Amino acid sequence: MAATEQQLLEQRTAATARLTGMTNHTLAIAYSLSLVSLGTIYALLRREAGKRQQAEANLRRSEHKFQSVFDELYEFAGLLTPAGRLIEVNQAPLAFAQVTREEVLGKPFWEFPLWQQSSELTEIAKTAVSQAAAGRFFYTEVTFNSPTGQPHTFDVSVKPVHSAQSKQVIWLIAEGRDITTQVQLRDALRQERNRSLQLINSSVDGIAAFDEQGTCTVWNPAMEALTGIPRDRAIGQCGMDLFRSLVPDSTLQHLHLGMADTITAFDFSHSHPQTGQLRMIEARYSPLHNGSTTLTGGLIMLRDVTRQRELERLKREFISIISHEIRTPLSSIRGALGLVAEGILDDDPQTAREMVSIANNNIERLVRLVNDILALNRLESGQVDLKYQWCPVISLVQQAFSSVEALATTHQIRLEATVPDDLRVWADPDWLVQVLVNLVNNAIKFSPPQTAIAVTAEAIASESIIQFSVADQGRGIPADKLQTIFGRFQQVDASDSRQKGGTGLGLAICRQIVQQHGGRIWVESELNKGSTFYFTLPHPEQRQEAERNQTTQKLL
């Protein structure tokens, strides 16, 4: 039994030893594992610490980079609280206002020195903060003065920054940009545009512009006057439609306003829709480019050449008439003198004297013609300097009668005058006598013998004028000639200049003289009974007296 117990004890001892060995081995393994775990954890912690240090270094570098970039921004930039307190600001506004960052951080945005330059600027800053804090973007243009007093224009904006979760405004970003140069350029462009518009609007030529689609964008007042189409109706309309009623279809089909890239010049005539007057128009279309070859529209200019064409016609007519008027007496002079010079009339002294007399009469006619043309041109060109003075009318009429007395005696015409002795007129006496001489001279030529020519003058106080009249008992003037006879070389009968010895310029000269005196001239006539020529001159004394009376009545 003892042996058995001994055996059991040995077995237990062996089992215990084995168990102890296993436990120790397990503990050794666990210890080893613990050491490995601790090493791993330590390594992980060291790596995380390195990453954190790297992240912090990167963050510092990023912050430094951001701050450097932020400070170097040309624009003004600042970060505000929703209440408007300045949290951060870059260097540009600090340098412009000549303040330090410490002097402005933590203070309200509107207390920044630039906003303190005027009460209006302060209110603008407060409004900007309140609108941005309410979630609305604010923008405006303001002018700040630099420390040297120079004005600078800025575009200023304040915008809200919202929280990603609640959409609540958590920051405000204020920005400002110096746009002084742009504003100056913009103002210069606006002034240039205004000047261009003024030139266009004051032009006597009609000007219209069209965009690349052919839509009208400019229609100046002269274009309104020429076409009768008002600007409000023209702007925004298709140019081809506007000109369809003005330009013939044959011309219009080759004209593409705003879209054509070639210069086109053409003439056309049209009746003004309001006045019905026929006008001759010169037109010129030019393409518009944007500084390169890109077509951006077109410009058309219209010029009223009605008067020019009429003057050209009159010039041609004048040259034709004057050529005829000169050629006829020259032919007579050459023929008459030729007969005498060749000795053909040596045996006929009486006929020779008649030929010389014919030549002399034609020479006098040429002299009168030249003198009348020169006088008329001087009057029409404004080269005549009228020498005004108070003239007794009776004296002027007597001078005129003295000049035509011989002609009146030859034609057996009586000259009668009805003029108040105290009537005076403010005029150039020499030119006024010329008017009376021309009118009486014409009346003598076209009056039958044994008749009278009556010259009258009277003051018409109600109109402050002196009215003259020259009445004859001649053949009269047809109604269709009453206006035209005051033109150059206009006579009732084309043969009058040859038969009566006139130049056809006397009445044109009378009209110019009377008009330059501020009066008017006209004629009333009845066929086979005679004509009466009237002209008026202002009466300064009566006008002044009337004005004094009106002033006195107003005072009373």
Give whichever of 60-69, 177-186, 193-202 has the largest mean pLDDT.
177-186
Query: Residue 202 burial by CB count (10 A; 0-12/13-18/19+): exposed, middle or buried?
Result: exposed
Is 392 in the same domain as 540?
Answer: yes
pLDDT digits (tens, 9 = 90+) for 310-350: 777 766 766 665 665 566 666 677 777 777 777 777 777 78
pLDDT digits (tens, 9 = 90+) for 474-518: 888 888 777 778 776 655 554 444 444 455 677 888 888 888 888
Single-letter code of the amino acid located at 202: S
Confidence of residue 553 (pLDDT cuts 50, 70, 90): very low
549 lies in a domain? no
Q: Among residues 250, 269, 304, which one ends one of the domains?
A: 304
3-state secondary structure of 415: strand
Nearest Cα residue to 153 out of 144, 161, 162:
144
Confidence of residue 357 (pLDDT cuts 50, 70, 90): confident
Q: How far is residue 135's CA from residue 129's CA, in Å, rounded to a whole number?
A: 10
Structure confidence at residue 2 (pLDDT): 62
Contact between 164 and 150 under an 8 Å Cβ cutoff? The reply is no
Q: What is the mean predicted confidence (pLDDT) over 86-94?
A: 87
pLDDT of residue 122 exceeding 90: yes
pLDDT digits (tens, 9 = 90+) for 399-429: 889 888 888 888 899 999 899 988 999 988 8
User: Above pLDDT 70, what percent of the chain?
Assistant: 76
Nearest Cα residue to 550 out of 458, 466, 425, 464:
464
8 lies in a domain? no
Is 430 in the same domain as 515?
Answer: yes
Q: Among residues 378, 409, 438, which one ends one of the domains?
A: 378
Q: How far is residue 238's CA from residue 241's CA, in Å, rounded to a whole number?
A: 5
Tokens of 226: 């020429």
Measured torsion, CA atoms of residues 129, 130, 136, 139, in degrees rounded to the nearest 10: -50
Residues near 503 by beta carbon (within 8 Å), at least 6 away in sequence = 325, 365, 368, 369, 372, 373, 489, 497
Over the chain, what is the mean pLDDT? 79
Task: Show the domain range for 115.
Answer: 71-178
Reported as half-sphere exposure (CB side, CA atoms, 13 A), residue 338 has a value of 6
Q: How far is residue 262's CA from residue 98's CA, in Å, rounded to a whole number?
A: 59
Q: Among residues 282, 304, 326, which one ends one of the domains?
A: 304
User: CATH no. for residue 350?
Assistant: 1.10.287.130
251 lies in a domain? yes
411 lies in a domain? yes
φ/ψ of residue 535, rounded to 5: -150, 150
188 lies in a domain? no
Number of domains the chain is built from: 4
59 lies in a domain? no
401 lies in a domain? yes
Is 160 in the same domain as 267?
Answer: no
60 lies in a domain? no
pLDDT of residue 57 exceeding 70: no
Is 462 in the same domain as 370?
Answer: no
Structure confidence at residue 200 (pLDDT): 82
**Strand pairing of 451-460 and 413-418?**
parallel
Give whichever of 154-158, 224-228, 371-375 has the largest mean pLDDT.
154-158
Nearest Cα residue to 175 out of 163, 153, 159:
159
More confident of the two residues 302 and 363: 302
Q: What is the mean predicted confidence (pLDDT) over 431-441?
A: 87
Single-letter code of the amino acid located at 464: S
Q: What is the mean predicted confidence (pLDDT) over 118-136?
A: 93
pLDDT digits (tens, 9 = 90+) for 517-548: 889 889 898 888 889 999 999 887 654 554 45
pLDDT of residue 30 exceeding 80: no
CB atoms within 10 A of CB 463: 14
User: CATH no. for residue 213?
Assistant: 3.30.450.20
Q: What is the mean predicted confidence (pLDDT) over 47-58?
A: 66
The residue count for the chain:
556
Tokens of 96: 């412009």
Q: For tokens 């045996």, name the residue.
A: 347
Residues near 383 by beta carbon (within 8 Å), at least 6 away in sequence = 377
pLDDT digits (tens, 9 = 90+) for 151-167: 999 999 999 999 877 78
Structure confidence at residue 55 (pLDDT): 61
Would you say the pTM of this structure is higher than 0.85? no
